[in-house]
Amino acid sequence: MEQLRTRRSLLFALALIALVVLAASIRYGAMDFSVADIARALRSLLPGHAEPTLDQRIFLELRLPRAILCLLVGASLGVGGTLMQALFRNPIVEPGLVGTSSGAAFGSALFFVLGGILHFSESLWSLPIAACIGGIISTYLVFLLARSREDGRASIVMLLLTGLAVNALFMSAIGFLSYIARDPQARSITFWSLGTLSGANWNAVEIVAVSTIGGTLLALRYAKQLNALMIGEEEATYLGVNVNRLKWIILSINVVIVAVATAFTGVISFVGLIVPHILRMMGGADNRFLIVGSALTGATLLSLADLVARLSLRPAELPIGIVTSAVGVPVFLLLLRRRRYVF
C-alpha cells in the first residue's frame, strides 16, 4: 500500500521533471528563444496572425519537433530496455546490445540507398517499415545464433556476444552502404552509428508518437505477466501465463518501438540499459511502475543528453550517441563487475 503511494508520487515527480526538461530543451540550443519568442511563434500558428518570421519558423519547424521527437525516442528506448530486461530476467540487456538498433539502422540506410537507385515512390510509412524489417531480421538472427544446441535456450553470455558480432556485421554493412550512397542522409555513417536528432521534423514526430504511445500502452497490459516471469518461466506458467506467447508479444513490441525510433535518429545506445536501473533503485521492480516510469525517465534523460549535445559545441553539435555512451558505458561496466547481477 505504502509502496503503491511512493510509486505514484515518484511517477508524478518524473512527469514534472520531464516537463521542465522539455521547457529547457525548447528554449536553449544553437539559438536561444525567450518565453516571449516562444509565445509569439505559437501565436503565429493561429488564424488571422501574421506569417511567422524566419526565427519563428526555425522554432516551429526545427526546435519544437526536435524536442518532442527527443521525448518520444527516449521513451521508446527506456520502455524497450525495461521490456528486454524483464523478458531475459537480466538487468544488463538493452535493445542496442541484442542487435535490434543496428538492424533497424541498416534497414533504414538500405531504404535510402535503394530509394535513390530504384526511384520508387515512398510513402510516409515506408522508412519505419524498412527499419522494422531490419530490426526483426537482426534480432531474430541474434536469437537464432545465441540459442544453445542442447536445450534451445539463449544464455545471456551468448546473447551479448552474438549481439556484439551481429552489431558489427550490420554496422559494417551500413558503412558499405554509406560508401556507395548518393543520398546525403544515407551517406552519413556518423548519423547511423552515433545517432542524432538533427533530422527531426513533424512527420517523424507523428510516426514515432504512434509507435511509442501505442507500444507503451500495449506493453502495460502485459506488465502483470512480465512480473510473474520474474520468478521463472515454469512458475509463470503455473500462475497462468502463456510464456511463449508473452515472449513473442513483448519482443515484437520492443522491435517495433525501437526500430521506428532508430529510423529517424540512428542508433542511440545505453539509454535502455540505464533507465530501468535508476527506476528499480527508486521504486522496486514492479513492471507496471517500471514501464510508465521508464517512458518518463527515458524521455527526460534523452532530452538532457540532446541539450548537452546541442550546447557543448555551440553552434555546432555533437552526435547524441557520444553523450549517452559517455554516461552509459561506465554504468554498464559497473553492472558487469557486480557479479550477482550477471549470469
Partner 1 sequence: MLQASNITFRVNGKALISDVSVSFAPGKLHLIIGPNGAGKSTLIKVLARLLRSQDGKVEYEGEDVRDASEADLARRRAVLSQAVEVAFPLTTREVVMMGRYPHFGGRPGPADEKITDELMELFDVTEFSARNYQTLSGGERQRVNFARVLAQLWRADSGTLSTSSLTPSTCRYLFLDEPLTFLDIRHQIEFMKKVRDFTDASDVVTVGVVHDLNLAARFADQIVLLNDGRVVSTGTAAEVLTAFRIREVFGVEPIFVPVNQGGIHLIFD
Q: How far apart are CA 122 and CA 124, in angstroms?
A: 7
* Residue bearing cell 556518423: 190
Cis peptide, bond prior to residue 315, ω within 30 of zero = yes
Nearer residue to partner 1 within complex by CB, 125 or 248: 248
Nearer residue to partner 1 within complex by CB, 8 or 182: 8
In angstroms, what is the minimal distance from the CB of 100 to partner 1? 21
Nearer residue to partner 1 within complex by CB, 192 or 332: 332
Out of 20, 168, 239, 313, the residue judged to bind partner 1 by CB under 8 A = 239
Out of 72, 79, 241, 274, the residue judged to bind partner 1 by CB under 8 A = 241
Identity of the residue numbered 46? L
Name the one range near partner 1 by CB under 8 A: 13-21, 64-72, 221-229, 300-308.
221-229
In angstroms, what is the minimal distance from the CB of 2 to partner 1? 8
**247 forms part of the interface with partner 1 (CB under 8 A):** no
**90 forms part of the interface with partner 1 (CB under 8 A):** yes
Would you give the end-to-end CA distance of the chain in angstroms? Answer: 33
3-state secondary structure 84-144: HHHHHCCCCCCCCCCCHHHHHHHHHHHHHHHHHHHCCCCCCCHHHHHHHHHHHHHHHHHHH
Strand-pair partners of 147: 154
**157 forms part of the interface with partner 1 (CB under 8 A):** no
Name the one range near partner 1 by CB under 8 A: 45-53, 104-112, 124-132, 284-292.
284-292
Closest to 88 in 3D by CA, of 196, 202, 230: 230
Is 166 in contact with 290 (CB distance < 8 Å)? no
Out of 235, 313, 326, 336, the residue judged to bind partner 1 by CB under 8 A = 235
Count the site residues for partner 1 by CB under 8 A.
Answer: 23
In angstroms, what is the minimal distance from the CB of 107 to partner 1? 31
Nearer residue to partner 1 within complex by CB, 61 or 233: 233
> What are the backbone dihedrals phi and psi of residue 180, each rounded to the nearest 5 degrees, phi first?
-95, -5
Out of 7, 63, 66, 280, the residue judged to bind partner 1 by CB under 8 A = 280
For 73, residues 6+ apart whose C-beta sits below 8 A from its C-beta are: 197, 208, 212, 261, 264, 265, 268, 302
Out of 47, 48, 152, 240, the residue judged to bind partner 1 by CB under 8 A = 240
In angstroms, what is the minimal distance from the CB of 239 to partner 1? 5
In angstroms, what is the minimal distance from the CB of 237 to partner 1? 6
**231 forms part of the interface with partner 1 (CB under 8 A):** yes
In angstroms, what is the minimal distance from the CB of 245 to partner 1? 9
Identity of the residue numbered 2? E
Q: How far apart are CA 227 and CA 86, in angstroms?
A: 8
Out of 217, 284, 314, 336, the residue judged to bind partner 1 by CB under 8 A = 284
**217 forms part of the interface with partner 1 (CB under 8 A):** no
Name the one range near partner 1 by CB under 8 A: 28-36, 195-203, 281-289, 298-306.
281-289
Q: How far apart are CA 315 and CA 38, in angstroms?
A: 20
Nearer residue to partner 1 within complex by CB, 213 or 243: 243
CB atoms within 10 A of CB 338: 11
CB atoms within 10 A of CB 90: 16
**C-alpha distances in Å from residue 238, one per residue of 89, 93, 232, 300:** 17, 26, 10, 38
SS3 24: helix
Nearer residue to partner 1 within complex by CB, 54 or 281: 281
Residues that bind partner 1 (CB under 8 A): 1, 3, 89-91, 224, 227-228, 230-232, 234-235, 237-242, 280, 284-286
